[in-house]
Amino acid sequence: MSSFPGKTRHPSDKPQDIVEEEQGLLSGVPVEGAKDEFDTPNSGWSARKIVGTATCFIALLISGAFVRGLLRGPAPPSSHSLWYDGGEILSNGTHDYRRTVLIVSIDGLRADYLDRGLTPNLLHISENGLRAKSMRPIFPTLTFPNHWALMTGLYAESHGIVANNFWDPVLQTTFQYNRIESCWNPNWWYGEPMWETAGKAGLLTANLMWPGPPKTSSGARATYFVPWKDHVPLDEKLDQIVEWIDLPLEERPKLIMAYEPSLDQAGHATGPMSARVNATLAQVDKFAKELQLALHARNLTDIVDIVFVSDHGMTDTSHPELVYMDDILGEKGLKAIEHEDGWPAMGLRFRPETNVTHYLNLLLKAADANPEKFDVYTHETMPRRYHFSNSERIAPVYVVPKIGYVLTTKAEGDVGMSKGNHGYDNNELSMHAMFIAHGPFTTDVKALHQSGGKPGDHWHSTEGNTYIMERFQNVEVYNLVMKLLGIEEFAAPNNGSTGFWDKYL
């Protein structure tokens, strides 16, 4: 039955990624009996901060309960705080605060969803602050590669998460985003996430379900961590964020990350033009409003920088044209494939005895004859703008479909295809993400701009005084957060452009 024997994804089934994203991203995570088997003893600031929390963490997973606040427990101040005191003490009129950054990811919020008239609150926030025309995701335009790019400022070839599912030829095992024993292993995740850098600078951090591991290979963890659980109501997430903001000064996180998947789930299930997407869009917009109101009620809008981002867009795949790999490679060619990564692209690894050149030539010939349907790349020919070649985790042959086309087999057909998908070329506007910011950062930017202090052609203001930045790549976000927290000197090497934010601030 299977025409891809031994491959990562079983072709006779509905593609695993789609099944799980339709049901809810990560809904397949087997939380029952999950063990933090990678939780080896570690030392340093992070370990001290989370003393006693690991047990709670496992208990929470086993119970499957969303127990707010269970995982908190700031430890004694880090020795690094001798170098950085967390910044100037500010006041909201009644309490002391320090500059705080809140970054919220709305999965699958395609940039032009904001033009539908369904997001008055996000637009209102952007009018008071600023937004980008769109934010370009990294390639591949998938959830895990992009959420880790946002955290680390790195392209996939550097941060190691080259797809949601992929084979590592050195480790001789598969990364599976939806299996805790796989995706919580810190050794998959290269680079330094912003919460690790902030921790090194002595700042407390809080992570509400951001896709990624609970700790890095160096042992660093966010101070507060709420692990993934599907279908958590937005008002519970709001309550958790507000609870963190209301903690006493010395326990309060200065960097808060939060994640919401419902819009991506809707996009996959019913397509980007559907009523369900529009209804979900209105819900996440209401969440943005309530978050902003909570900051306003505490007189914190000049103290907290809030940044709304998404990881990628969404395109309609309800009537795709199918490209049959059997027609190109033949039955023998399909059987020669040992591993297949990166749906909806196909990163192909052939069995050791295979004449790879032969099959590569067949693929290249087919791509030449059908340039509108798909591209075929090797590490050597991969477009440089993808920054997607310098890693052994990237399969040596990559077939990348164009929008409107689906790579499949005769056996697989269009069974299980979702109504919406992403993962395509990151230059496609339907793959682009959003970026909206508001807070002291945007106030300063506008003031500088209006005083002529930072003239530039990289953005413009509209009639409504909305400042719209030119498109930029999401690997710039890491450096922005470093700058807003005042911890640039601690920043890890990354792929953000040197001085990118100096154009604005």
Nearer to Zn ion, 237 or 298 (CB): 237
The number of angstroms, rounded, from the C-alpha of 163 to the middle of its chain's C-alpha atoms is 11
Tell me if 230 contacts Zn ion by CB under 5 A.
no
| DSSP code string of 232-281 | --HHHHHHHHHHHHTS-GGG--SEEEEEE-HHHHHHHHH-TTSHHHHHHH
- Segment near Zn ion (CB under 5 A); pick from 103-111, 370-378, 423-431, 466-474: 103-111
Site for Zn ion in 145-164 (CB under 5 A): none
- Segment near Zn ion (CB under 5 A); pick from 100-108, 345-353, 364-372, 378-386: 100-108
State in angstroms the smallest separation of the CB of 311 from Zn ion.
4
Structure tokens at 406: 């689906």
State in angstroms the smallest separation of the CB of 5 from Zn ion.
30
State in angstroms the smallest separation of the CB of 87 from Zn ion.
32
Q: Does residue 13 contact residue 160 with C-beta atoms inside 8 Å?
A: no
Cα separation, 176 vs 182, whole angstroms: 6
Among 143, 158, 301, 426, binds Zn ion (CB under 5 A): 143
Q: At what angle do helices 16-23 and 262-270 cross, to 10 degrees?
A: 120
The number of angstroms, rounded, from the C-alpha of 410 to the middle of its chain's C-alpha atoms is 33
Q: Which amino acid is at 212?
A: G
State in angstroms the smallest separation of the CB of 471 from Zn ion.
19
Q: Does residue 401 contact residue 315 with C-beta atoms inside 8 Å?
A: no
State in angstroms the smallest separation of the CB of 440 from Zn ion.
29
Structure tokens at 250: 């010395």
Nearer to Zn ion, 262 or 409 (CB): 262
Tell me if 264 contacts Zn ion by CB under 5 A.
yes
Nearer to Zn ion, 143 or 391 (CB): 143
Contacts of 278 (CB under 8 A, 6+ apart): 116, 118
Which of 53, 141, 143, 315 is catalytic? The answer is: 143
Tell me if 418 contacts Zn ion by CB under 5 A.
no
- Segment near Zn ion (CB under 5 A); pick from 131-139, 261-269, 359-367, 464-472: 261-269
State in angstroms the smallest separation of the CB of 312 from Zn ion.
5
Tell me if 20 contacts Zn ion by CB under 5 A.
no
Residue number closest to Zn ion, CB atom: 143
State in angstroms the smallest separation of the CB of 432 from Zn ion.
13
- Segment near Zn ion (CB under 5 A); pick from 11-19, 137-145, 285-293, 398-406: 137-145
Cα separation, 181 vs 4, whole angstroms: 25
Tell me if 260 contacts Zn ion by CB under 5 A.
no
Cα separation, 166 vs 343, whole angstroms: 10
Cα separation, 103 vs 240, whole angstroms: 14
Q: Which amino acid is at 326?
A: D
Residue holding tokens 């023998």? Answer: 332
Tell me if 141 contacts Zn ion by CB under 5 A.
no
- Segment near Zn ion (CB under 5 A); pick from 102-110, 160-168, 279-287, 464-472: 102-110
Nearer to Zn ion, 260 or 340 (CB): 260
The number of angstroms, rounded, from the C-alpha of 494 to the middle of its chain's C-alpha atoms is 16
Tell me if 476 contacts Zn ion by CB under 5 A.
no
Nearer to Zn ion, 107 or 340 (CB): 107
**Catalytic site includes residue 143:** yes
Q: At what angle do helices 262-270 and 275-297 cross, to 10 degrees?
A: 170
Nearer to Zn ion, 304 or 433 (CB): 433
C-alpha distances (whole Å) from 394 to each of 159, 185, 213, 301, 346 are 12, 19, 20, 43, 11
Cα separation, 10 vs 117, whole angstroms: 41
The DSSP secondary-structure symbol of 221 reads: B
Site for Zn ion in 454-473 (CB under 5 A): none
Nearer to Zn ion, 264 or 476 (CB): 264
Q: Does residue 342 contact residue 140 with C-beta atoms inside 8 Å?
A: yes
State in angstroms the smallest separation of the CB of 111 from Zn ion.
14
Among 107, 192, 375, 476, binds Zn ion (CB under 5 A): 107
Binding mask 272-311 for Zn ion (x = CB under 5 A): ---------------------------------------x
Catalytic residues: 143
Query: For binding to Zn ion (CB under 5 A), which residues are involved?
Result: 107, 143, 264, 311
